[in-house]
Amino acid sequence: MPKAQGLQANASFVPTEERHGYVMKKYIIKALILLGFSMTFLYACKPSEDNKDKVTHISSDETGNGMGGETDTDLDKEEDKAGTDTDAEESVSCLEDNYDPGFSIIIEAEEAQFTGNVKVENKKHGYTGSGYLTGIQEDSDIVTFTIKVPGTGAYDLNFRSVGNTGYKENNIYIDGEYIGIAKVDGDEFTDSFLEKIYLETGEHEITMKKSWGWIFLDHLEIIASGTVDRSIYEVSSELVDPKASESAKRLMKFLVDSFGNKVISGQYSNGGLNGKEFKAIYDGTGKYPAMLGLDFIEYTPSRVAFGSKGNDVEHAIEFDKEGGIVTFAWHWNAPEPYLPNRQDQPWWSGFYTRATNIDLMKIMNGEDEEGYNLLIRDIDAIAKELKILEAADVPILWRPLHEASGGWFWWGASGPEPYIELYKLLFDRLSNHHDIHNLIWVWNGQGRDWYPGDEYVDIVGTDLYPGERVYSSQAASFNELLDWLDKSRKIIALTENGCIFDPDLAFRDNAIWSYFGTWSGEFVILNNTYTLSEKYTETDMLIKAYTSDKVLTLDELPNLKSYGN
């Protein structure tokens, strides 16, 4: 998310909404799939108590230091993925036998409850029923559907609508809990699906609240999703860099083996293992996160020119020595000529579109040759730091150019085409020109049209900030990412989050994120202290997540330097 800290102002940046593309569904294909489902294998939604761990847990006694490390009994070395999936399938069972995989129902929007400026119209052609709802413009403009499902399981929610003047998105809640975003584009009534949403037998309130507003809402359709698809976790461990280092390959194999079986805990902290976030989490749960999130922001030349100095490379090396996993983002401050550096647009906020006058379209199409050379200069500066990490044998989950589709960062402000060109340039410059091969490429563009292609991406991620104390699995976003991929399956990760999801719900909903990466500052700690803040995640939920047998912490990681031997 667009959050970082300026050196002089120590600024705190407020999270901005994610901007995704919407998902289209074909009714005929859906019907054929549903007909093929056996009533014997209904939606599996309850983890069994005797689920066996796929990934080795290493106790502090085994490591000798309480923070992960080598063990002579790496039970997982020889396990293959097929065996893992079998175990996982056996670990789930149906909650109820009355789930109907052929269930579907349509509720016209004009039959829903609505408040504020919302009203019924019938001027635009293409609606069903007697009309559609319009007037969703203010926070008080709310539409609530009351629905009833006959059996506990997964359902697809289709908010058929049309954007009033282009792309729009709005927030969806079930029984008061945020579950995702309904998105629509174009000038005709269109399907907008949130897929595989868990509903228990009985009555529920499904509510749409304004995010952008300004839509014509035709109806809500509820369709049974059917059985669990465990094949989504069958991904290849082959990296997109054919020259990937052995450490990167071993880490990727571990991630693939874990995917769908365990969630890896992660935390951003610019202080590293001894940072305030890590210490607060340990004091509150007795556990350290398995993954450390860092940033190359202070290594960017335009920030160095103003006196910045980064320490994150040293933190990464230290954490790797303790057996942990390291991920890096890069809030890329625009080059100096593009920084107005005014009071309202200070130099340290130069990764934001609003604080720069850089035009990526002109740079990538050749109109701004100086800008192109400056971007190459910046990439080369980060390559120098990556080389240090490669020499220290530290594999990196590398997440550059994140959240592009939102447009709040300059690398996304010119649209998807120049962004994809820049992503490919970065990939080529680091992998081929600089011969850097310790990177696992994590794409986090936040929109289907921004995907550079399977050959440039190892892991697909999204950043979600659903509000305060929202512990749902965010299954709709998980399944949306599945639909964005080109031809092959990829690991799916929650690359940034505000509040931590309930791991039990993730397994129940078959939305088992590979890892989460909770953002730093107020999302974990209180007033920049070593004390936990409960604003986003209550301490009880944090303890539940970090002590869950479904979540891996630092002390539970195997020796990643020899993993797979």
- Residue 114 phi, psi dihedral angles, 5° rounding: -145, 155
d(CA 388, CA 434): 12
Nearest Cα residue to 264 out of 292, 283, 284, 238: 292
Q: Token digits for 171?
A: 């927030």
Catalytic residues: 403, 496
b vs e for 78-104, b when ≥16 Cβ sit within 10 Å of the residue's Cβ?
eeebeebbeebeebbebbeeebebebb
Let me know how many helices (H) and strands (E) the chain has, helices first. Answer: 13, 23
d(CA 285, CA 76): 26
3-state secondary structure of 159: strand
CA 305 to chain centre: 33
d(CA 276, CA 529): 7
3-state secondary structure of 318: helix
Can you say whether the dihedral through the CA atoms of 167, 449, 399, 487 is positive or negative?
Answer: positive
Identify any residues that bridge with 459 across adjacent strands, giving them in sequence order.
Answer: 442, 491
Q: Token digits for 251?
A: 């880490």
d(CA 255, CA 371): 37
Nearest Cα residue to 75 out of 67, 87, 66: 87
Q: Token digits for 117?
A: 């400026």
